[in-house]
Amino acid sequence: MFALSEHLVEFRKRLLAVVICFFLVFCVSLLFADQIYQYVTQSFQQKLIVLGPNDILWIYIRLASLMAFTITLPYTVYHIWSFIKPGLKKEEARAVFVYIPASFLCFLVGLAFGFYFITPALLQVLLGLGEGLFETQLTAQNYLSFVFQTTLPLALIFELPVIIAFLTSIGLIGPELLIAYRRHAYFILLVLAVILTPADFVSDLAMTAPLILLYELSLPSANTL
């Protein structure tokens, strides 16, 4: 019981440290919200509109929250690692120590890939469908929602190689299983892409292709584990 109470106290301290860090980064990000907004929307040439003064506030809050989450993530992972490390065996601790940085790196790569490549290309294709037929005026809320709905799912999707490598290392799945059920995996990935992306065929297709590619790239790493 005493050990449990010690763990709860430690957990509360670490959680409080993460919350305080998030709040401080959020406040600083809020001060630079206009610069963050300009950076996020720099690839879109049209002037975005807002429907009311409240929209401006909510846009800044969303941007500051996203920045706070991204910047606080390594600090959060550090506290999670420090909390669980004493209860792990030496081999388990070594494995977790490898997978946590790899997971964070894949998250950042997916975020960058989605923001710099997929989102602009996808937006250009979708807006091109109505070229000459419609006068397109996007609100800032619409644009940012679209950016978040394409970049964040891609960041999570890029965790697939790490997840497969981890499940293979603990013996839950093997390379033979991954190859034998490849078609079933493709179908599951397609369903996952439909769930994670905006509701249109082009977005689903654009998200499915990286998923399948990442799945195939995960097979060699599974064979080496």
Q: Write the CA distances from 23 to 19, 28, 54, 59, 183, integer angstroms.
A: 6, 9, 21, 17, 45
Average pLDDT over residues 23-41: 93
Tell me what percent of the residues of the chain surpass a pLDDT of 90: 17
Q: Are residues 51 and 136 in the same domain?
A: no
In this prediction, residue 2 has a pLDDT band, given cuts at 50, 70 and 90, of: very low
Q: Domain boundary residue among 47, 65, 87?
A: 87
Helix %, strand %, coil % for the chain, to 5?
Answer: 80, 0, 15
Q: What is the pLDDT of residues 173-196, one digit of tens each?
A: 777 777 777 788 888 877 877 776
| Structure-token pair, residue 50 | 């807002």
Quote the pLDDT of residue 59: 92
Q: Are residues 63 and 122 in the same domain?
A: no
As a whole number of angstroms, the distance between CA 132 and CA 145 comes to: 25
In this prediction, residue 29 has a pLDDT band, given cuts at 50, 70 and 90, of: very high
Q: Are residues 106 and 212 in the same domain?
A: yes
Number of domains in the chain: 2
- CB 16: neighbour CB atoms within 10 A? 10
Q: Domain boundary residue among 87, 120, 152?
A: 87
Q: Domain boundary residue among 87, 119, 141?
A: 87
Q: Are residues 63 and 101 in the same domain?
A: no
pTM: 0.75
The C-alpha torsion from 168 through 186 and 153 to 50, rounded to 10°, is 180
Quote the pLDDT of residue 24: 97
Average pLDDT over residues 160-166: 80
Q: What is the pLDDT of residues 34-43, one digit of tens each?
A: 999 999 888 7
Q: Are residues 113 and 202 in the same domain?
A: yes
Choice between 214 and 64, residue whose per-residue pLDDT is larger? 64
Q: What is the pLDDT of residues 72-129, one digit of tens each?
A: 988 888 888 888 777 777 776 777 777 788 888 888 888 888 888 888 888 887 777 7
Mean pLDDT score across all residues of the chain: 81
Q: Are residues 122 and 221 in the same domain?
A: yes
